[in-house]
Chains A and B, each alone.
Chain A
Amino acid sequence: MLGGSSEIALATARRLIARRTRTVWLAGRPSPALEEAAGQLRGLGADVHTIAFDALDPTSHEAVLGKVFAEGDIDMVLLAFGLLGDQARDEREPEAAVRVAQTNYTGAVSAGLVCARALQSQGHGSLVVMSSVAGERARRANFIYGSSKAGLDAFAQGLGDALHGTGVHVMVVRPGFVRTRMTAGLPESPLATTPEAVATAVELGLRRRSETVWVPGALRVVMSALRHLPRAAFRRLPI
């Protein structure tokens, strides 16, 4: 789990442990929250390790993640780290905006490629990428975050095609509004969902080896309509 303290990642871990996952690595920035999360998962019966991982330090990714893979085969990698940012502030402070982009996009490109190579050489496994509906079409209200997720989404799709036939499966997950600390205090969008629902969708997608998963599933239809809305109309939508 890259972004080991993410609520979505932990809900997914709990779900998979209930389905007999035995070993979990939580890779994240060292914090009491990360250790506490590890303790909780141990309580569910898994063998849990934590390892220091910073998405903003790509030069370290090879070494950090290499250590994890050296310990044994990994069946699934979840890229869950992400930064929502604060659109208004980020527009004023380009450096803050860059941090969002670097976390969500370049950090994921680097970690994603490192993991993809390791999975490819072990000949099996899934790489699950937390994209977002926000990347489907950039909105006025959060286009900085949205554009970083758009980049991530395109990257992950291409990576999936590159890995086709290698035994490695790449799955792009596009949740809508999920109630986690990332969205705490924000007004809820329609079709708001929970980390547990995302976890369920991930589990099902893994079993089916899906390439794209929307959570909730209805968003697929909604977004395909929004995608084709004329620009002028889209701009005026209260979303």
Chain B
Amino acid sequence: MSADTDSDPHVPGLEHTTVTGWGRTAPSAARLIRPRTYEEAAAAVRDCGARGGIPRGLGRAYGDAAQNAGGAVLDMTGLDRVHAIDADGGIVLCDAGVSLHRLMEVLLPLGWFVPVSPGTRYVTVGGAIGADIHGKNHHVSGSFSRHVLSLELLTADGEIRTVVPGTPLFDATAGGMGLTGVILTATIRLQPVETSMMSVDTERAADLDDLMARLAATDHRYRYSVAWIDLLARGAATGRAVLTRGDHAPLDALPARARGNPLSFRTSRLPAAPAVLPEGLLSRTTVSLFNELWYRKAPRTRSGRLQRISAFFHPLDGVPHWNRVYGRGGFVQYQFAVGHGQEDALRRVVRRISERRCPSFLAILKRFGESDPGWLSFPVPGWTLALDIPAGLPGLGAFLDELDEEVAAAGGRVYLAKDARLRPELLAAMYPRLDDFRALRAELDPRGVFVSDLARRLHL
């Protein structure tokens, strides 16, 4: 079972389990059901009762997307078979409960990589489609759904439908946060690789404008690109950052001794963060010290360094349960996007966060490429910023509300897979296809079988 559920097996007759997202805020209790067959999944949907049900993958959405207070939560990780791989054409057909970690283990030795990888490998294919996730290659490859050739969707009426791109149901499901139905399987187009290593260039940017200029000028040269910003730096250094960009290393880039086994997938795991950590571990001082060291340690420029896939894409996966570092109160991740031409809004938000002195570890800035058609899909061509903030920070709610206003006024949006707190009024402005989404749901699922805490909160 995923990391953030917590049940009490000692209470007889208790059938509810407390479920949270990765941020560990706003727990709610639900019946957790783990179907092992498609028939069991269909039965669970049929019997989920008055408070409905929602599919859940590995629970890596930060907020309340994969929880459903008082209803059913369908843990899809029990359906985790890789059905077929076309090793020549680079296509995989698998269950939605398969993790990207598993896909990497299976596919890398065959010379294929997942088309889009988020900052953790521990997400399922269902979660990747449900949130239409993006990776460091968004400016080149778009979001996850762009690589989905077809999927099978269990809908509220108990039917299993084959859904292909270019249809309204596909566009509602890609980024639809599990609210159109349960994805059972997906057929995905893969990315060919010669090795399991990355060739990485690193450079420092002195401030936010320098950073945006570098990203705009040279991102197109790299398949993967991301910048880590120090939001505790102020004044002239506001927005100073380290850019890391790269591509899969070709075979001839490996040292001779590594060429014999170029596709091995190796990861390292440190011990898990302890379950109980003292409050206040993350003070402004410790975090700013960390950020300072990290900035100084980065080379001014370095190119062609070889790095493992796990180190380049998923540095945090090395520490299981790192989300506990934020203590019992949990944390909020704030991620928004604004379009090209709205750089001023981005500057204003970055300045406000810096001035506010949130004890936030590195934030991530990325330049998005073209968007995909999913109605609630998050990426828009432009800029996205993501940062973690401890949920207990005084005045945080009002502060983030102000940022929301700023983002909405600039025609931007916040990412629902990270959200736990947005007010519903702003949603329609952020997601112009919201009405279409609601209309399709009303028709496909008139009784409202699929529902989550997120959906209740935002009237999705």
Enumerate chain A interface residues (CB-CB to B < 8 A).
19-20, 22, 73, 120-124, 164-168, 207-208
The residues of A that contact B401 with a CB separation of less than 8 Å are: 20
* Interface hit among B6-14, B163-171, B302-310: B6-14
* Interface hit among B22-30, B99-107, B221-229, B288-296: B22-30
Bound Cα distance from A19 to B14, whole angstroms: 33
In the complex, which of the residues A121, A123, A124, A167 has the most CB atoms of chain B within 10 Å of its own CB atom? A123
The residues of B that contact A22 with a CB separation of less than 8 Å are: 423
Residue of A124, A164, A207, A208 near B69 (CB, 8 A) is A124
Q: Give 14 new A-B contacts, CB below 8 A, not counting A123-B29, A123-B51, A167-B29.
A: A20-B398, A20-B401, A123-B28, A123-B70, A124-B29, A124-B69, A124-B70, A124-B453, A165-B14, A165-B18, A167-B28, A167-B30, A167-B70, A208-B328
Residue B320 CB within 8 A of the other chain = no
Query: When A123-B71, A164-B8, A165-B11 are in contact, do A73 and B456 touch as well, CB less than 8 Å?
Result: yes
Query: When A73-B69, A167-B27 are in contact, do A121 and B51 touch as well, CB less than 8 Å?
Result: yes
A90 to chain B: closest CB distance in Å? 40
Bound Cα distance from A168 to B14, whole angstroms: 13
The residues of B that contact A19 with a CB separation of less than 8 Å are: 397
Q: Are A165 and B423 in contact (CB under 8 A)?
A: no
The residues of A that contact B69 with a CB separation of less than 8 Å are: 73, 122-124, 167
Residue B16 CB within 8 A of the other chain = yes
Bound Cα distance from A124 to B70, whole angstroms: 7
Chain B: number of interface residues, binned into ranges: 20 to 34
Bound Cα distance from A121 to B398, whole angstroms: 30
Q: Are A20 and B392 in contact (CB under 8 A)?
A: no
Residue of B14, B71, B423, B456 near A166 (CB, 8 A) is B14
Residue of A nearest to B395 (CB): A19
CB-defined A-B contacts under 8 Å, sample of 27: A19-B397, A20-B397, A20-B398, A20-B423, A120-B70, A121-B70, A123-B28, A123-B51, A123-B68, A123-B69, A123-B70, A124-B69, A124-B453, A164-B11, A165-B7, A165-B8, A165-B11, A165-B14, A165-B16, A166-B14, A166-B16, A167-B18, A167-B27, A167-B70, A168-B29, A207-B329, A208-B328
In the complex, which of the residues B14, B69, B453, B456 has the most CB atoms of chain A within 10 Å of its own CB atom? B69
The residues of B that contact A168 with a CB separation of less than 8 Å are: 29
B59 to chain A: closest CB distance in Å? 16
The residues of B that contact A167 with a CB separation of less than 8 Å are: 16, 18, 27-30, 69-70
Bound Cα distance from A120 to B8, whole angstroms: 16
Bound Cα distance from A208 to B398, whole angstroms: 19
B363 to chain A: closest CB distance in Å? 24
For residues 306 through 348 of chain B, which have their beta carbon under 8 Å from a beta carbon of chain A?
328-329
The residues of A that contact B27 with a CB separation of less than 8 Å are: 124, 167
Bound Cα distance from A165 to B11, whole angstroms: 8
Q: Are B398 and A166 in contact (CB under 8 A)?
A: no
B364 to chain A: closest CB distance in Å? 26
Bound Cα distance from A163 to B7, whole angstroms: 13
Bound Cα distance from A107 to B39, whole angstroms: 48
Q: Are A124 and B392 in contact (CB under 8 A)?
A: no
Bound Cα distance from A164 to B14, whole angstroms: 10
Residue of B nearest to A120 (CB): B70
Bound Cα distance from A166 to B51, whole angstroms: 15
B351 to chain A: closest CB distance in Å? 24
The residues of B that contact A166 with a CB separation of less than 8 Å are: 14, 16, 29
Bound Cα distance from A166 to B28, whole angstroms: 8
Q: Are A165 and B456 in contact (CB under 8 A)?
A: no
Residue of A nearest to B71 (CB): A123
